[in-house]
Chains A and B, each alone.
Chain A
Amino acid sequence: MTLLFDTWYVAKRELIKFFRTKVRLVVTLVQPVIWLAFMGNTMNQVTDNPFGAQLFGTSNYLAFMTPGVILMTVLFGGVFGGMSIVWDRRIGYLEKLMAAPINRGAIPFGKSLAVMVQGAIQVAAIVIIATLFGVRFQTGIGGILVIILLASLFSGILSGISLSLAASIRTIETLMAVVNLFTLPLMFASNALFPIDMMPGWLATIARLNPVTYAVGPIRELTLHGWEWGKILPGAGVIVGLTLVFMGVSQLVFQRATSE
């Protein structure tokens, strides 16, 4: 009970700041617009033919790409979890939190919760923008809510990873560099922007193992086709599983780093 309470207030602190930072809010909205408007329009000819439509599963490249943009946004947002711990350690706030009688587990959980709520808000914004660009989500409101939930859980994975790294990395710059080192390849070695069948063999092999591909699967299915559980559940299971694993890892690493 205390854990939930403490987690909420750790997260609330981050969320107050998230909504206060107007620039970050605007960038959050502008980024998907840029992706969808430029990249989407450039690539639209690719799917504008029967062959392309079959390969991508839709004749609307924007609809194909929207799940990719969603994943990309939550992929890059996860780093903020670790960053806020690095920052708190630097200004002494982390110590202050630990001097309070809160459940220590609430600190990493709260940071991740904040990241996941921010992710959900960003994804909701992307869905609205994509709709304005003419993308129709085949599963309607229900599907959109599941998409938001899955994307939000996925940002929890990245938050867990960045929190775990933050235990031993003491500067924000280094943490950013290390996180980008694997988020960019994860992004491009996946089916987020192009179907796996278009990739050279070696890349396709990597892409099939890539967790981003697993996450794109159910979201794309819900966007383009419908409630086909056989295609939704495996990906959803991987997302939930990895979220639990990395939440656990971030807990362990944090408890170890703060017990002296």
Chain B
Amino acid sequence: MENAIEVAGLVKVYKNGTKAVDGISFHVARGEIFGLLGPNGAGKSTTIKILIGLLNPTAGELRINGVDIRAYPAEIKRATGYAAQETAIDDRLTGWENISLQGRFYHLPGREIRDRATEMLKMFDLYERRKDLTATYSGGMLKRLDIACALIHRPQILFLDEPTLGLDVQTRQMIWDYIERLRTEYGMTIFVTTHYMEEADVLCDRVAIIDQGKIVALDTPDALKAGIGGDVIYVRFSGIDGNEAALRTKIGAVAHVRRVEPTADGAYRVIVEQAGEETIPQLFALCDQLGITINAVSLKKPSLDDVYLHFTGRAMRDAEESREAHARARIMRGRARRGK
């Protein structure tokens, strides 16, 4: 079966000369949740906008459901749904008017719009508020309505650009639950960009890290984390008196252990290639044999943040700080505007 999305050698140079995407290639399987991660200006939004036909690629092969997107733009538009980073909801229309107009723009017949809008508004828990002006909705409700609108024409592939940006933790969780449901209930393929690494880690089947227009890493979150150098087990022993060297050699011989280092506070750091949680019982068994007690143990797994740091040479947090502030400012402006 062909992939939902296939991209090969995609390049985008804007009219002003900016090279936003610099030769990226990847594919997304049907039913996959695929995450594109990267800082502001890395080329995430540009990539999405090319895939849904909002921007023309400068070079590259792009196929959606095996169809060349440049040859059949209208067909691609009907197969894909898109919710932009900004929640594009008209706040002087009701929720119902917003979603049914969207249905009209996808040329659906009136009856289907009614059925589908009802279904989507119910799924996103907005049906009760459908007759209210969206100016009265909360940020989370607007985002949900925006995603519901993107689903009015039953797309097979949903593109979400930063669906949780600027939302509070609970709302973010809720949005991700809806995204999961779309996959399990409708078998939808979901292409999402985010800069919340924990979210991408939990929800994406595979992630690509994009930096300055190039994909620097692409794999499952676990493989990426394993790839950059292993879990760290922190252990504190008692009753070793003088046997330190022997203990270190023995631990070093346990499967998958890379190295053992003493820490400044008299404990040890055991670096394991992967699956540190499986190494811990072996450490206990070893200590049992040697008559040594383990007083404390903890496991630290590398996060996607570490992966990001590894591949781009800077922490996501630094790159994102200004962006968060920017998003907050935008939301405050939006509120002020609606308040008027």
CA distance A96 to B52 in the complex (A): 11
Contact of A5 among B89, B97, B107 (CB under 8 A): B107
State A16–B97 Cα separation when bound (angstroms): 9
B93 near A: Cβ within 8 Å?
Answer: yes
- A98 and B92 in contact (CB under 8 A), knowing A9-B101, A16-B97, A92-B86? no
Q: Are A100 and B14 in contact, with the CB atoms below 8 A?
A: no
A254, chain B: closest CB distance, angstroms: 15
In the bound complex, how far is the Cα of B97 from the Cα of A97, in angstroms? 15
* Distance to closest chain B CB from A174 (angstroms): 17
A259–B93 contact, CB under 8 A?
no
Would B106 and A99 count as touching, CB distance under 8 A?
Answer: no
Cβ-defined contact, A9 with B105, below 8 A: yes
Could you say which interface size class chain A belongs to?
20 to 34
Per-residue interface assignment for chain B, residues 75 to 111, with 1 indicating a CB less than 8 Å from any chain A CB and 0 otherwise: 0011000101111111111000100011011110000
- Main secondary structure on chain B at its contact with chain A? loop
Are B88 and A13 in contact (CB-based, < 8 A)?
A: no
The reply to whether A100 and B90 form a contact with Cβ atoms under 8 Å apart is no
Complex contacts, A5 vs chain B, CB 8 Å: 104, 107
* B54 in contact with A95 (CB, 8 Å): yes
Query: Do A96 and B92 touch across chains, with their CB atoms under 8 A apart?
Result: no
**Chain B stretch 208-256: residues in CB contact (< 8 A) with chain A:** none
Whether B92 lies near A100 (C-beta < 8 A) is no
- Confirm or deny: A22 has a beta carbon within 8 angstroms of a beta carbon on chain B: no
List A contacts of B92 (CB < 8 A). Answer: 17, 20-21
- Cross-chain contact B107 with A101 (CB below 8 angstroms): yes
Q: Which of A6, A16, A95, A101 contacts B77 (CB 8 A)?
A: A101
Chain B residues in 8 Å Cβ range of A16? 93, 97
B340 at the interface (CB under 8 A from A): no
Which of B73, B77, B105: most chain A Cβ within 10 A?
B105
Given contacts A2-B107, A20-B92, 10 further A-B contacts (CB under 8 A): A13-B97, A91-B89, A91-B91, A93-B88, A99-B52, A99-B54, A99-B82, A101-B77, A101-B106, A260-B15
**List of 10 A-B pairs having minimum Cβ-Cβ separation, nearest first:** A92-B88, A92-B86, A100-B105, A101-B77, A96-B88, A9-B104, A93-B88, A101-B74, A99-B82, A17-B92
28 chain-A/chain-B pairs, Cβ below 8 angstroms: A2-B107, A5-B104, A9-B104, A9-B105, A12-B101, A13-B93, A16-B93, A16-B97, A91-B88, A92-B84, A92-B86, A92-B87, A93-B89, A93-B90, A95-B84, A96-B82, A96-B84, A96-B88, A96-B102, A99-B52, A99-B53, A99-B54, A99-B77, A100-B106, A101-B73, A101-B105, A260-B14, A260-B56
Which A positions have Cβ atoms within 8 angstroms of B? Answer: 2, 5-6, 9, 12-13, 16-17, 20-21, 91-93, 95-102, 259-260
